[in-house]
Amino acid sequence: MQEAVQFTPYTVASAMGKILWLIPALPIVAAGILALLKQPRRKLASSLAIGSLSISLLLALAAFGDVLAGWASGHAVRETVNFAWLHFGATPMDLGWILDPLSAVMLVMVTLVGLLIFIYSTGYMAQDENYTRFFCFLSLFAGAMLGVVIANSLLLLFMCWEIVGLTSYLLIGFWYQKPSAAAAAKKAFLTTRVGDIFFILGIVWLFAQTGTLLFYNQGAGNMEPLALGGLLAAPAAWGLSAATVIGLLIFAGAAGKSGQLPLHVWLPDAMEGPTPVSALIHAATMVAAGVYLIARVYPLMSAGIIAGGTTTALTVVTWVGASTAVFAALIAVAQNDIKRILAYSTISQLGYMMAGLGLGGVAVGMFHLITHAFFKALLFMGAGSVIHGCHEEQDVRRMGGLWKAMPWTFGTYAVGMLALSGFPLVFSGFWSKDAILESAHKWHAGQGPYFLLVFGALLTAFYMTRQVSYVFFGKYRGHGHAHESPRVMTAPLAILAFFAIALGVVGTPAWPWFRSFLTDRPASFGLTGFSEPGLFILMATSTLVVFLGLALGWALYGNKSPRAEEPDTLERAMPPVWRALSNRLYVDEFYGATFIAFYHWWARVADWLDRRVWGGMVAAVMWFFGLWARFNRFLDEDWVNGGFDKGCEELSVGGGLLARVQSGRVQTYLRLLALAVVVLAAILIWSARG
Amino acid sequence: MNVVFWILAVVTVAGALAAVTLKNTVHCALALTTAFAGLALLFLELDAQFAGFAQILVYIGAVAILVVFAILLTRGSETPDSGVFSRTWFAGLLIAAAVFAVLGWAVLHSTAALPGSEGSAMAPAVTVQQIGNALMSRYVLPLEIVALLLTSAMIGAVIVALHEKGEQPK
Amino acid sequence: MTPLAGYLLVAALVFAIGLAGALTRRNAILVLIGIELMLNAANLNFVAFWRYLPHPEALTGMMFAVFSIAVAAAEAAVGLGLVIAIYRHAHTTDLDEMNRMKG
């Protein structure tokens, strides 16, 4: 079900639109100040970071209100402020920002979740000695992420995108003393780089085709019909249009950032970073940037779509998303690290979002993005709270029975878990996932993604049940005594839990407010939304699947409290499958055996070339110049110097002779004078006679 | 070529010779005065009264006295043990002789060609008034310059010969 | 031998004697005496030329002699002052021992 997005009226930038740049600028400035701050100024550091982001949140809310008011009064808001940044000859490089429903929603989500995680971090990182640095990076990340959100230019978006990648690298490797953290940071950076290369190729191609990188510019932007028509008409290769190929290249960048197959390998390792980082960057915001990017360039992805049909680019997005969803969910089943389970879950959910974009358009994908951001941040922070309470233990098999010791954490975690699993009716995750499933069911190009996604939903419910059973039920198997986390950490959990439930309200079929808002249609409340054909069957199916997953998980793991050394229940049932899953389906090993091995081999070849061939050439040149220099030295010393020395010698001898004349005796001078007179007179007389 | 000239010439040359050859420096100064006087008389013989009296006033009256003062001030009257002539006296003598030879040869070979050199008996009638007029009209600039030179020479001589500050007078 | 030639020869002789004295004597004062003799010989030449060459009414030669006498007086004053100064510095007037101006 594709919606043709219609934004007809372009309003001139309002006051809000003009100061929109402040939203990312404030945290970036805060980061700059924090970078100069001394380590011991902890209180100041956290207040500065939190304060700046709070102002950003207020501004974001004001911007959201602006857009909301415009929407309510019946004309869509899409304010852009563009300006030329550079000129290449006559071609201007434009930057700009945009305020439309999409960016407004993202702004509110990022600032709100970010603020809660900042507050949570003050508790979580309280003991860390690099507290100031942590908040500096965090602020920088928040600013850059907000920059990605408001960018109206692919170039500005890419710049912020790279800063986001940088902060991700810095924060994954925050505890750089741990070799695993340093390695994970490198892995994350390099893997996303693979995607970014395709991304920048797409950007360059798009610029070459349309001459602009602005998304919207009074009809001249590259996401507007004029440019899209040109892109569709331009052929690329294999019968694809330029629009499709550029769309796929940009999607490769998005896949790298959002951990889609086959570039997902960095995301689980990224959990080496501090838990608030995992929550903010690797669950709620940065990884969603890829999804947001696809939503932003959706007009390009869907260019030339026929009603009810699909495009090549969107088909690829759908299939990649659906496969990622199932693939990551499968791996999540066999993981024992509490954060890794959540990481694979995140990859899986990102797959859902991508599939949602491909199947149902911007609204479907974005709705899941927003709901997921809240409940996944909740789960990560809950996991952080658990890790904190269990003395930095991350293995779920060494936990258990925590519901008594950590009631707040347990309660909120349960909300997050049920939202993620898609527990019917009351949780937001149900509605957002349902919208994706509904779109998949209606997809004309085939039912493959639908089945994959339903299977993924089953797995999701199953692995979350397994995790919760391990962590919160049964007997405590860890060391020491588990304790509840401080209020500063649990309060954000409670707020996030509230949103994890409440957000569902705006996306039910009865009141599809969110979808209407993003696609600029009036929203109406009515139970008629449920009367769409097949909707009830679909809801019933997904409910059934979720309950099946929950029941299966509880049956296998509920109240078992197995010891860590014991093999897993599933492992006993199907050892080969388990082994494959717990080894993450050997993707890392596959990469190691292929790409990494190739690079090793290639590095060796390059090394050999460097040493033997290029080194040899350099040595030959060096030898030649050495010879030349020796020849020159010979010339210099024996000829030039010799001549010069000779000249100097002559001069000095002559000087000595003359110096003898200058004896200092006046009478000698007088004598010479008289002699000269005689000689002069003689000459005169001689010449006078002649 | 009268006798007076010859007498004066002999006196002058003898005085000059004595002035450069005598061992006692004070005697040298006296011989020098004699030579100066001979020259002044030769000027008079040449009808140059003004120049002759100027010669007497300046050389005999001032320069000779100065030389004597200088000799006395520097104890130059004591004859050194190493002799009064420098080590290279022979070369000096040779050169002086060469100079005289060139000059004499030039005089003997050129005066014959000069007009009026046969000796006009007519002495030019030059009064001191004429000289004074010439000095104040045609030669006024050289006169002023000489006046300046003499003043600065006097100051300079005083400064050069003055005891330096802090130096013990000998 | 014309009268002019006689005067010129006497002047040349005095000049040569003065030069010989200036070149051979050790004493700086005697060297100065020689130089004075040379100057006087030149003056005698000027006056002799003035007397025997045409246009003596122009007074050129004699004026030159008069100015020369004045300049010589100045020279003698400064020269003797220098000798005294050098003597005070080096405690000698022997020119053979004064070779500080060596190049």
- pLDDT for residue A9: 43
Distance from CA of C50 to the nearest CA of A (A): 23
Decide if pLDDT at A356 tops 60.
yes
Q: Confidence band (pLDDT; 50, 70, 90) for A685?
A: confident
Q: Give me A526's structure tokens.
A: 């009515």
Rounded CA-CA distance A349/A547 in Å is 18
Contact A141, A52 (CB under 8 A): no
Decide if pLDDT at B103 tops 80.
yes
C residues 30..89 contacting B (CB < 8 A): 30, 32-34, 36-37, 40, 43-44, 47-48, 50-54, 56-57, 59, 62-63, 65-67, 69-78, 80-85, 87-88
Which has the closest alpha carbon to C85: B158, B161, B71? B161
| Residue range A454-496, pLDDT digits in tens | 888 888 888 888 888 888 887 777 777 777 888 888 888 888 8
Contact C62, C46 (CB under 8 A): yes
Q: Confidence band (pLDDT; 50, 70, 90) for C92?
A: confident
Interface residues from chain A to C (CB-CB < 8 Å): 658-659, 661-667, 670-671, 674
Look over chain B and give the mean of its residue pLDDT values, rounded to a whole number.
81
Rounded CA-CA distance A436/A363 in Å is 10
Tell me the Ramachandran region of residue B162: left when phi exceeds 0, alpha when psi lies from -120 to 50, beta otherwise.
beta
Decide if pLDDT at A1 tops 50.
no
DSSP A4: -
The span from the first CA to the last CA of chain B, in angstroms, equals: 53
- pLDDT for residue A627: 93
- pLDDT for residue A6: 43
Mean pLDDT along residues C53-72: 84
Q: Confidence band (pLDDT; 50, 70, 90) for A2?
A: very low
Residue A641 half-sphere exposure toward CB, CA atoms < 13 A: 7
pTM of the model: 0.62
- Residues of chain B contacting residue C44, judged by C-beta atoms under 8 Å apart: 39, 42-43
List chains adjacent to chain B, taking adjacency as at least 3 C-beta pairs closer than 8 Å.
A, C
Which is more confidently placed, B36 or C89? B36
Decide if pLDDT at A117 tops 80.
yes
| Residue range A295-353, pLDDT digits in tens | 888 888 887 777 666 788 888 888 999 999 888 888 888 888 888 888 899 999 999 99
- Residues of chain C contacting residue B62, judged by C-beta atoms under 8 Å apart: 73, 76
- pLDDT for residue B112: 66
Nearest CB partner across the interface for A667, out of B86, B99, B106: B86
Q: Confidence band (pLDDT; 50, 70, 90) for A3?
A: very low
Q: Considering Cα of A274, then A275, then A280, then A284, what sign does the dihedral take?
A: positive
A residues 646..685 contacting B (CB < 8 A): 667-668, 671, 674-675, 677-678, 681-682, 685
Asked if the C-beta of B91 comes within 8 angstroms of chain A's C-beta atoms, the answer is: yes
For the question of an ipTM over 0.85, the answer is yes
Task: Answer yes or no: do C95 and A663 touch at CB < 8 A.
Answer: no
Four-point Cα dihedral A177, A182, A184, A188, nearest 10:
140
Task: Answer yes or no: do B48 and C62 touch at CB < 8 A.
Answer: yes
Task: Answer yes or no: do C9 and B97 touch at CB < 8 A.
Answer: no
| Residue range A398-434, pLDDT digits in tens | 777 787 788 888 888 888 888 888 887 778 888 888 8
Look over chain A and give the mean of its residue pLDDT values, rounded to a whole number.
83
Mean pLDDT along residues A368-378: 88
Which is more confidently placed, A160 or C101? A160
DSSP A417-455: HHHHHT-TTTSHHHHHHHHHHHHHHH-TT-SHHHHHHHH
| Residue range A13-22, pLDDT digits in tens | 677 777 888 8
- pLDDT for residue C42: 92
- pLDDT for residue A4: 39
Task: Answer yes or no: do A675 and B105 touch at CB < 8 A.
Answer: no
Q: Confidence band (pLDDT; 50, 70, 90) for A145?
A: very high
Lowest mean pLDDT among A478-482, A540-544, B91-95: A478-482
- Residues of chain A contacting residue C103, judged by C-beta atoms under 8 Å apart: 658-659, 661-664
Lowest mean pLDDT among A484-498, A556-570, C36-50: A556-570
What residues contact residue A321 under an 8 Å CB cut-off, 6+ apart?
A260, A350, A351, A352, A353, A354, A355, A356, A357, A358, A449
DSSP A278-303: HHIIIIISHHHHHHHHHHHTHHHHTT
Place of tokens 């299939």: A319
Asked if the C-beta of C54 comes within 8 angstroms of chain A's C-beta atoms, the answer is: no
Look over chain C and give the mean of its residue pLDDT values, rounded to a whole number.
84
Nearest CB partner across the interface for A671, out of B91, B102, B105: B91
The span from the first CA to the last CA of chain C, in angstroms, equals: 47
What residues contact residue A437 under an 8 Å CB cut-off, 6+ apart?
A450, A453, A454, A457, A538, A541, A542
CA-to-CA dists, residue A564 to A335, A389, A475, A559, A568, angstroms: 13, 19, 12, 14, 9
